[in-house]
Amino acid sequence: MAAGEGRRFGGSVRKVYRELCGVPLLLYAVRPFASHPDVAHVTVVLSREDAAAPPEWLSSVMGSNLTVVAGGAQRSDSVAAGLAVLPESCSIVLVHDGARPLAGRAVIDAVIRQARAGVGAVAAVALRDTLKRTAPDSDPPRVQETIPRRHLWRAQTPQGFPRAMLAEAFRRAGSEGSRATDEASLVEATGAPVVIVPDSPSNIKVTTPDDLKLAERLIEAGIQG
């Protein structure tokens, strides 16, 4: 998923094309999947403008086993567009953020394993910080309650599903006008089971220039996933 504008990152170059240790961020995100022996096809969802003229280096990743498609206005529209062009032979679907360059092999394996077992799977990290809920419209924000962090997880990607399960979730979401910030939320709404796959905090999503610098330091230290 690389169709977002990356407004919080800033600058004239689209975030997913920013260089990370001399390599485009998006290419770092694609490589772990393109090189995985169980991944038969990769679909990269770009903005409509970029999909019309995708970077040349993308075609070198998987050749004919990589497809580029234009995304939509919302994330769910973009995922649906990617799902629509995926070969019918792909019975398991993984969704990953194009701005998340450090997904490790172990978490990809675990998500695939769970999806093959017939459930949805979400790479996630257990929360370590104390959470505070504030009163709406208070300035400065006034603490309303402290939320116990036990059993709370921060969702990441990849997220994996049996294809039929994900397709049904999008069908229902479309008929009900539902929107969600991740695919698991749509699947959960159908009542289908979704499990957590514990992930590494180093599988960061690059949102700001500081995140890019952190990713560079992790790569230089030999840390991935």
State mean pLDDT over 69-96. Answer: 94
Nearest to 121 by CA among 91, 152, 166, 77: 166
Separation between Cα atoms, residue 160 and residue 39, nearest integer Å: 12
- Return the structure tokens found at 201: 């905090």
- Return the structure tokens found at 193: 């089971």
State mean pLDDT over 23-52. Answer: 96
Indicate if the pLDDT at residue 145 is higher than 80: yes
Separation between Cα atoms, residue 209 and residue 11, nearest integer Å: 10
Q: What is the mean pLDDT of the chain?
A: 93
Is residue 60 within 8 Å of 23, Cβ to Cβ? no
Q: Where are the domains of the chain?
A: 15-220
Indicate if the pLDDT at residue 173 is higher than 80: yes
Indicate if the pLDDT at residue 223 is higher than 90: no
What is the model's pLDDT at position 206? 96
If 0-12 CB within 10 Å is exposed, 13-18 middle and 19+ buried, where does residue 113 land? Answer: middle
- What CATH superfamily classification does 15-220 receive? Spore Coat Polysaccharide Biosynthesis Protein SpsA; Chain A (3.90.550.10)
State mean pLDDT over 44-68. Answer: 92
Quote the pTM value.
0.92
